[in-house]
Amino acid sequence: MPEFGYSIIGLDPDKTAKARGREVRMSPKAAREVCNELRGLRLEAAKTYLEDVIAMRQAVPYRRYDKKVGHRRGLYKADSGRYPVKASKAILRVLENAENNADYKGLDLDRLRITHISAYPGRMLKRFIERARGRSTAFNEQMVNVEVVLTEE
């Protein structure tokens, strides 16, 4: 069995709680943009932000993957944005898991802040679409790994 570690090191285990979502089926580009928006927020603010994105009340600004992305109202960091509902639901599940880990460790839930959150590509599911004249086209689906570290202030 491989041993998977976190991409951040040197944390105080008494003040931090970690959680990871491995091989989650969502867009890596949308996951990256959502994680960049959540980094540094308090836990409750991040959860309400994700719930607003899921309800399509708040758009996520797209800064890197913003080619041919329409403008959304209410954005203050960028003009273009989207409502990545699937990625927001998956990242909210990982955040709630990290919150439960912090509660189990005895950390104060009102003083938790997201110090590290990242999404990076995981395994690729390779499939094929049948085409005319015996040909086929690759239809790959990229999976995503998400890690969250909460620190008590």
Residue 134: CB atoms within 10 A of its CB come to 6
Q: Which amino acid is at 32?
A: R
**pLDDT, mean over the chain:** 94
Of all residues in the chain, what percent carry a pLDDT higher than 70?
99
Distance separating alpha carbons of residues 28 and 31, to the nearest angstrom: 5
Contact 117, 147 (CB under 8 A): yes
* Percentage with pLDDT > 90 across the chain: 83
Convert the pLDDT of each residue in 95-139 to its tens digit.
Answer: 999 999 999 999 999 999 999 999 999 999 999 999 999 999 999
For tokens 């999404």, what's the residue? 119
Helix/strand/coil for 138: strand
Predicted structure pTM score: 0.90
Q: How many CB atoms lie within 10 A of CB 78?
A: 17
The mean pLDDT value for 28-57 works out to: 96
Res 103: pLDDT? 97
89 exposure class (CB count in 10 Å sphere: 0-12, 13-18, 19+)? middle
Q: How big is the CA angle at 90 (ends 84 and 95), to the nearest 5 degrees? A: 115
Residue 17 has pLDDT above 90, yes or no: yes
On whether the CB atoms of residues 118 and 5 are closer than 8 A, the answer is no
Which whole number is the average pLDDT over 68-83? 88
DSSP classification of residue 34: H
pLDDT at residue number 31: 97
Q: What is the pLDDT of residue 74?
A: 85
Q: Which domains does the chain have, with CATH numbers?
A: 16-152 (3.90.470.10)
Name the band, by pLDDT with cuts 50, 70 and 90, for residue 61. very high
